[in-house]
Structure 1
Amino acid sequence: MRDLRVAVIGAGPAGIYASDILTKEHEGAQVDIFDRLPAPYGLVRYGVAPDHPRIKEIVKALRRVLSGERIRFIGNVTFGRDITLETLQRHYDAVIFATGAVADRDLSIPGIELDGSHGAADFVSWYDGHPDYPRDWPLEAEQVAVIGAGNVALDVARMLAKPADEQLSTEIPENVYQGLKANRAKEVHVFARRGPAQLKFSPMELRELSHSPSIDVLVTPEGFEIDEAGQAAINKTKSVKLVVNTVMKYLEAEPTGAPHRIHLHMLQSPVEVIGEDGKVVGLRTERMELDGNGGVVGTGEMTDWPVQAVYRAVGYRSSALEGVPFDSSAHVISNEAGRVLDESGARVEALYCTGWVKRGPVGLIGHTKSDASETIQCLLEDLDALPAPEVSDPDAILAELRSAGGEPTLWDDWERLDAHEVALGEQAGRERIKVVSREDMIAAGRAREEAAAS
């Protein structure tokens, strides 16, 4: 097979897995992974709650891939602004988009735009220290509603209920600690539209809700209903059974009198965010009932819940990329098995996608491997037909970025930033403290390099 140079846009698990598989399958493949942030790892760094150290163990595996000789990390480069599709096509045989899904899905109910109504993805980005989000977050509400039945809803509820001092064992930066320290939330209500057998929580995430001695997890008995379809799901899938059993344990447990409470309400569908003077003062839900087929129907019975903030955790969505065909209804790049398709359904030469921007935000991180494998198989099948790039020098892309005023960061820069964050943590008796601002991230990444040069 001929030598191959590929650009991957997105340095999260999807992009890294695709790069790993490609370099293993093709001995002559060289990959440049671009990311808009100065640091790699995508949602593993900026989408996983900081008190999930076991999940973040995946960083070790991703790090081994990015340390490979034939894979180069190029950070602080935004596609569509710092680098265009046309530029990439001049330098690479093929381009793989792995930009993930980082925006909140819309929830079209009255009042969703009120002050105090938030997207979960924005809140996650704040407490994970994402450099492109505000440093402050409004946490004045004592009663909070979280809409959603997935792991992000649990993360949001737990972060709102857990005292700030219990987060000092994590990598949260100082601004997040101070924000959580001022948090006034006492009652956090999680609303799921369906019953216990249809919850999308992972068993581990659900069990972790009660790990804090400061939190009682309470399940509202109304809504704990299982029909024939639900029982079939329990019998068929171990994870469903574990989730239902955990919910039942919470239902039967006696409250301990902990100062913070997370309430789980099932078969409650949000119909309106109630406002007064432009601010959230409540959430109205409709009581649902199971239809026997795994779905639900409304009963017309409404309940108003007094809350001062609402977080919608109803899923993520991908964003369109300049010059790349996009299905705006499904919020994914138009594709077939990872091959990008134009508006007529024809394949776009040398363009591919993988991960959530390919198939939507479903599945856990591990599912991304098989998805990446499918995309890489398609690319290798197309190899002989791929046009050779105009520019053969692999360093020419860096020179072009810098001549245009860009500040691309490389793997060595990340390793210096990584060491700096670990050093900050050691000073405070913690494993790491995350650097937040983009400027500080870049400066930390280049500090020793500049010192050596002087």
Structure 2
Amino acid sequence: MARPLRVAIVGAGPAGIYAADALLKSDAATDPGVSIDLFERMPAPFGLIRYGVAPDHPRIKGIITALHQVLDKPQIRLFGNVDYPSDIGLDDLRAFYDAVIFSTGASADRAMDIPGIGLDGSYGAADFVSWYDGHPDVPRTWPLDAEKVAVLGVGNVALDVARILAKTADELLPTEIPPNVYDGLAVNKAREIHVFGRRGPAQAKFSPMELRELDHSPTIEVVVNPEDIDYDDGSIATRRANKQADMVAKTLENWAIRDVGDRPHKLFLHFFESPTEVVGEDGKVVGLRTERTRLDGTGNVTGTGETQTWDVQAVYRAVGYLSDELPKLPFDFTTGTVPHEGGRVIEAGEHLPSTYVTGWIKRGPIGLIGHTKGDANETVANLLEDHGAGRLAAPVAPDEDAVVDFLAGRGVAYTTWEGWHRLNSAERALGAAEGRERVKIVDREGMLKASGAPTRD
């Protein structure tokens, strides 16, 4: 009797869930069907939607509603709090599944090679995001004693970091931030936030809506220097070809010509300033040195040799995320991705049998949800092509109970989709007691308890 196609997906963020959705919408989902297990190292699903989106962006977190609908399907099981490879490795997965898709994303900070970047008071944006989003594996406190702060980068993560630093704790209290984050932000001393980009307004990677949201806070005054509004032929071409870039540039232009108001926290957006050194004294950040740049006609910039030292006591680099290397898979350390062809993992020029990637581990940490869906569709299409051609290696233990017995035998305290519903209810109950939608449970043991899973020894 024919059995369902068994697929393991490592990583239960949007990329992994979209891959599961693509499988369920394919012809393979008909008799005998597909059976999908998602493995997630966190006790809860949803990846960077839960642990990478700022808490004051509930609109983006609304994506979870669509992801919920996928995970509710009976052909899908969730195994949370399961780490690859310490709890289950590639050889183990191949024993239970016809194919394995890795969708582990990118959560580390990309390095920035300038002098002083390792000083006390110099931070990676991803680490700060993990703290204010209540990631269970990071410290519960964050040093917020700097009155003037620099943020390096002109993407949406830089905006999130700058906005969270500039807002008051009470402004963020209606969101799902846990008590330790509220307590930390309540004593935040930051009054000036300086965001630096090495190129011009037309090259900024902000989304228009995220940029405009900066100006919605009654405590944040957004300031743009009129001298930073400049375009060359390449910049003009970018604006004409990209509606979002044009909208961002127009917003920045409007802010540059208005009078500076009296809101207590100032958020400066600087362009044509290339960071060259984090200045230190006694091992701590005391400033940031930048070199003024100018456009070269193509939208790129060259240095002018003119430098300036900015009075700041903390520096956050928001210059991109980087994926972690996955044991037993090839890895390109330059791009932070697994080498592949259409999602098929490639090692020594050959497709690693039955092994695939999707999402940021496949293409790098760029693009929006639409790109993630396209990634998943391409990977799944090639997986199904390999399945139809008989190129997948048959597992030795395809029964659905085999992996359950394996995890139990290893003493893995895994969570389930039903457990997520219990955790979700517990967090909503905590929020309701305070008139909020949700209060996030932070510590891993607390998440496991609320999920109904046994805690690890």
Deviation at 1:222, TM superposition (A): 2.6
- Distance (Å, rounded) in 1 between the aligned partners of 2:302 and 2:418: 55
1:296 is matched with 301
SS of equivalent to 1:30: strand
Question: What amino acid does structure 1 have at the position aligned with 2:86?
Answer: R
1:18 is matched with 19
- Distance (Å, rounded) in 2 between the aligned partners of 1:217 and 1:253: 10
In the alignment, is the contact (CA less than 8 A) between 2:13 and 2:103 conserved in 1? yes
SS of equivalent to 1:332: coil
2:383 is matched with 379
- Distance (Å, rounded) in 1 between the aligned partners of 2:364 and 2:84: 20
SS of equivalent to 2:161: helix
2:7 is matched with 6
In the alignment, is the contact (CA less than 8 A) between 1:398 and 1:408 conserved in 2? no
5 Å-filtered alignment, 1:42-441, equals: 42-342=47-347, 344-383=348-387, 384-441=390-447
1:445 is matched with 451
SS of equivalent to 2:328: coil
Structure 2 spans left out of the alignment, 5+ residues: none
SS of equivalent to 1:40: coil
Question: What amino acid does structure 2 have at the position aligned with 1:23?
Answer: L
Question: What amino acid does structure 2 have at the position aligned with 1:11?
Answer: A
SS of equivalent to 1:430: coil
Structure 1 spans left out of the alignment, 5+ residues: none
Question: What amino acid does structure 1 have at the position aligned with 2:19?
Answer: A
- Percent of matched pairs sharing the same residue: 58
Deviation at 1:3, TM superposition (A): 2.5
In the alignment, is the contact (CA less than 8 A) between 2:428 and 2:438 conserved in 1? yes
- Distance (Å, rounded) in 2 between the aligned partners of 1:345 and 1:289: 43
Deviation at 1:328, TM superposition (A): 1.1
Question: What amino acid does structure 1 have at the position aligned with 2:10?
Answer: I
My pick for the range that moved more, 148-157 or 255-264, is 255-264
Deviation at 1:387, TM superposition (A): 1.5
What is the number of residues matched between the two proteins?
448
- Distance (Å, rounded) in 2 between the aligned partners of 1:220 and 1:268: 12
- Distance (Å, rounded) in 1 between the aligned partners of 2:352 and 2:140: 40
- Distance (Å, rounded) in 2 between the aligned partners of 1:215 and 1:223: 20
Structure 1 stretches of 4+ with a deviation exceeding 3 A read: none
- Distance (Å, rounded) in 2 between the aligned partners of 1:131 and 1:197: 38
TM-score, normalization by structure 1: 0.97
In the alignment, is the contact (CA less than 8 A) between 1:96 and 1:351 conserved in 2? yes
In the alignment, is the contact (CA less than 8 A) between 1:100 and 1:357 conserved in 2? yes
In the alignment, is the contact (CA less than 8 A) between 2:226 and 2:257 conserved in 1? no
- Distance (Å, rounded) in 1 between the aligned partners of 2:329 and 2:84: 11
User: 1:308-359: CA deviations, max 9, x gaps?
Assistant: 00000000011101111111111101111100001x2211110000000000
- Distance (Å, rounded) in 1 between the aligned partners of 2:261 and 2:370: 36
RMSD (CA atoms): 1.2
- Distance (Å, rounded) in 1 between the aligned partners of 2:58 and 2:277: 36
User: 1:397-439: CA deviations, max 9, x gaps?
Assistant: 1221121121011111110000000000000000000000000
SS of equivalent to 1:240: helix
Deviation at 1:243, TM superposition (A): 0.2
SS of equivalent to 1:327: coil
In the alignment, is the contact (CA less than 8 A) between 2:15 and 2:373 conserved in 1? yes
My pick for the range that moved more, 152-161 or 379-388, is 379-388
- Distance (Å, rounded) in 1 between the aligned partners of 2:130 and 2:149: 19
- Distance (Å, rounded) in 1 between the aligned partners of 2:173 and 2:434: 9
- Distance (Å, rounded) in 1 between the aligned partners of 2:216 and 2:425: 30
User: 1:182-217: CA deviations, max 9, x gaps?
Assistant: 100000000001000000000000000011000000
SS of equivalent to 2:356: strand
Question: What amino acid does structure 1 have at the position aligned with 2:222?
Answer: V
In the alignment, is the contact (CA less than 8 A) between 2:136 and 2:443 conserved in 1? yes
Deviation at 1:2, TM superposition (A): 6.4
- Distance (Å, rounded) in 1 between the aligned partners of 2:168 and 2:235: 35
- Distance (Å, rounded) in 2 between the aligned partners of 1:241 and 1:52: 23
